[in-house]
Structure formats: C-alpha cells, structure tokens
Amino acid sequence: MFEVIKQEGKARRGVFTCPHGTAQTPVFMNVGTQGVIKGAVSAHDLKEIGCQIELSNTYHLHLRPGDETVRELGGLHRFMDWDGPILTDSGGFQVFSLSGLRKIKEEGVTFASHIDGRRIFMGPEESMRIQANLGSDVAMAFDECIENPAPLPYVQQSCERTVRWLERCVTEHRRLMEQPDCVNPGQMLFGINQGGTYPEVRIWHMQEIAKLDCDGYAIGGLAVGEPTQVMYDIIDVVEPYMPKDKPRYLMGVGTPSNIIEGVARGVDFFDCVMPARNARHGKLYTWSGTINIKNEKYKLDQRPIDPGCTCPACASFSRAYLRHLFVAGEMLAMRLAVLHNLHFYNELMVRIRAALDEGTFEEFRRKYAPILDRPARGNET
Ligand SMILES: [Zn+2]
C-alpha cells in the first residue's frame, strides 16, 4: 500500500497505492471541498493539471447534498466523475472551526449547521459512516482540532479523548468495510496526531495512536495560529515516533516553502486551500516568486503568467488578458488563475520528486524554499 523507494536525509520518495490507483509521493492533494474545486474547476480539469489525489470534505458533503444522496448516486467518484484516489477529511476541523455553537461530549459533538443553523450530532461513528457512504479511498479519523495556543490541561484532556475516539473509529470502520453493500470496501483509515504546541503531549499522543495500526498517520492542528518555526519544530518532534512504513500527512499545509520544509522533515502528503484561494484573489505563483496579476504593470504584458509553465492558462493567455479578466470581474479570471496555481503546486511536487530521485533535494530546497513565497523580483515581474 505504501513503499518508500528512496530517502535523502529525512525526505522520502514513495509510492502510495489505494483502490482507485497509485500516487507518487511526496504528493499535494487538490482540495475540492464540496466535490468541486472552487473557481469552476471540474475533476476533468484536475486530470489536465496533474492532480494525483483529490480531497473532499465530509462536513460539507454531509450537509449538502447529504452523504446518503451521494451513496445513492454511486459514491463520490461517480458523482463528481473522478476515477482517481480521493481522501475525505473527517469533518472534525470544520465542526470546530465553522460552527459557532458546539458542545463537546465523550460521545461526540453537537453543532449548528453553518447553512441553516440546524442542530447536528457528529461523533467517530457518524464520521466513519459518512465517509463510507462517500466511498473515498482514504477516510480520516474524527478528532478535535485545537486552536493554538490552548492551555495545557485542556490539550491533554482533548488528546486523551481523541485516542478513545480513534479506537471507536477503527472499530466502526472495520464493521462498515465488512458490509455487503459497502461503496468502497478497500477504504483506508488514517489516524491524526494532535497535541497543540506541547512537544510532550504530541509525542505521547503519537505513541498511543501508533498502537492502533492505522493505514497512515497525519499531523493535525498545525498552521492554526502558531508561528511557522513552531510548526516546523513540532514536525521535528513528532516525526521520529511516526511509523516509518506508513504515509505521513501534514494537514492543511501550506505555502510552497512550507511544503518543501515539510518534505525535508519526512512528510509525504499535503493539502491546502491556499493556492486556489490566492488564485481567486489574483495572487499567482511563479518559479521566481508570487505576482499580483491585478497590478497595473501587467496591462500590456504579453508574456504568460510563468514563461516555464505548461498549464492551460499559460499555454494560451497573456498576463495582460488575465489582468483584464480580473479587472472586468469575469468568471474566467478565477478559473484560469486557479488552474495555474494548482498546476504550479502539482508541478512543485513533480520537481521535488525528481530532485529526490536524483539525490539533489537539499540543493532544490536551498534554491527554492527562500524565494517561492515572496513577491517575485526583477525582469520576471
Ligand atoms: Zn500556468
């Protein structure tokens, strides 16, 4: 299911196999929250921009159109016409970040839907059932994502509960996978490490959840308010306790530099809404740094967004045209920008993997980690 084929320092080059195919790692998962990428980008477009794994959202699909509806329509793969790997998050993050009113108990969480305020209960069993109905290839455990900073006693108490929740996830997931009408009987389950910014809680929690022999392990609860260096330090602290033979997933991270630094620390899977969100605001990634396409200086610029890019936007359209679309408020502006930024992220992973294959990742890291997140300088802009 997962094989590390090469290593440089802690950075790993691997191959991940699941019921809907194989992904080369390190991999960036493209986020289609509601079964679509925001900015009018479909699953067919994802094929064209080099996406290997699509990520959808349990919370959103449970509320709308409803996971039972998706199941009746043959599961999420058929519903959105994507035949590649899909990972679904557990809904935990959204329950804790989107719903103002919520009540946490041992059984689970009662919260108000952000759409109509209706009261909904979700616990480990409910999350597993929803993800089984969606039929994703990887289900994520139901956890509490704690904001940083949080008081130590609360983090300890929450992490103890998250271990108990994971035990319940494992039991329910096993039961669901044995049902004769299961949408995707080969669905895997990843556990999630929490512990805020407390190294000792992070380590204890990782050791506890590693005992449950999940198919992979994620580091959650980072990039939620703490400084970047603290995030890197926590990855360094947890990594030695993560099983070596299983995929590791850093949830919700991050910028191109964050991803390079995550790979350097032994992470295999990433996801983030940032490239698509930035694109919709006109902030685009290039190999010389970021540019704001809405800027006046691109008014007569006939070059593509990035001269080296092979995405559908760069193949045909100029910066001047894209800027015009943004200024005019045309929907195509967002679509082209999102296609470019996601293609850039997927291409970033292609280059990271090539560097790992050639044993030149450290050189790649030194060259690109300092420049990709900051505004581009010089002639390129
Ligand atoms: Zn492009």
- 18-40: pLDDT as tens digits: 999 999 999 999 999 888 888 99
Q: Taking residues 345-364, what's their average pLDDT? A: 98
CA 366 to ligand 1 center in whole angstroms: 23
- 77-129: pLDDT as tens digits: 999 999 999 999 998 888 887 766 788 999 999 998 888 989 999 999 999 99
pLDDT band at 369 (very low <50, low <70, confident <90, very high): very high
What does the pLDDT read at residue 114?
86
Of all residues in the chain, the percent with pLDDT exceeding 70 is 98
Measure the CA–CA gap between 334 and 38, rounded to whole angstroms: 9
Whether the per-residue pLDDT at 46 is higher than 80: the answer is yes
- 143-152: pLDDT as tens digits: 998 888 899 9
pLDDT band at 55 (very low <50, low <70, confident <90, very high): very high
74 φ/ψ sector (left φ>0, alpha ψ -120 to 50, else beta)? left
Whether the per-residue pLDDT at 12 is higher than 60: the answer is yes
Measure the CA–CA gap between 191 and 128, rounded to whole angstroms: 12
- Number of neighbours of residue 33 by Cβ within 10 angstroms: 17
Whether the per-residue pLDDT at 380 is higher than 70: the answer is no
Annotation marks residue 89 as catalytic: yes
Task: Specify the pairing of strand 216-219 against strand 2-8.
Answer: unpaired
CA 201 to ligand 1 center in whole angstroms: 42
CA 314 to ligand 1 center in whole angstroms: 4
- 321-350: pLDDT as tens digits: 999 999 999 999 999 999 999 999 999 999
Closest CA to 209 of 165, 267, 157: 165
Q: Taking residues 234-255, what's their average pLDDT? A: 98
pLDDT band at 379 (very low <50, low <70, confident <90, very high): low
Catalytic residue (choose from 67, 137, 268, 271):
271
pTM over 0.85: yes
Give Cα 232 to chain centroid, integer Å: 17
CA 283 to ligand 1 center in whole angstroms: 12
Mean model confidence pLDDT for the chain:
95
Measure the CA–CA gap between 133 and 65, rounded to whole angstroms: 12
pLDDT band at 11 (very low <50, low <70, confident <90, very high): very high
Annotation marks residue 137 as catalytic: no
What does the pLDDT read at residue 296?
97
The 3-class SS string of the chain reads: CEEEEEEECCEEEEEEEECCEEEEECEEEEECCCCCECCCECHHHHHHCCCCCEEECHHHHHHCCCHHHHHHCCCHHHHHCCCCCEEECCCHHHHHHHCCCEEECCCCEEEECCCCCCEEEECHHHHHHHHHHHCCCEEECCCCCCCCCCCHHHHHHHHHHHHHHHHHHHHHHHHHHCCCCCCCCCCEEEEEECCCCCHHHHHHHHHHHHCCCCCEEEECCCCCCCCHHHHHHHHHHHHHHCCCCCCEEECCCCCHHHHHHHHHCCCCEEECCHHHHHHHCCEEEEECEEEECCCHHHCCCCCCCCCCCCCHHHHHCCHHHHHHHHHCCCHHHHHHHHHHHHHHHHHHHHHHHHHHHHCCHHHHHHHHCCCCCCECCHHHC
Q: Taking residues 293-312, what's their average pLDDT? A: 97
- 175-230: pLDDT as tens digits: 999 999 999 999 999 999 999 999 999 999 999 999 999 999 999 999 988 999 99
CA 369 to ligand 1 center in whole angstroms: 20
Catalytic residue (choose from 89, 143, 215, 301):
89
Of all residues in the chain, the percent with pLDDT exceeding 90 is 90
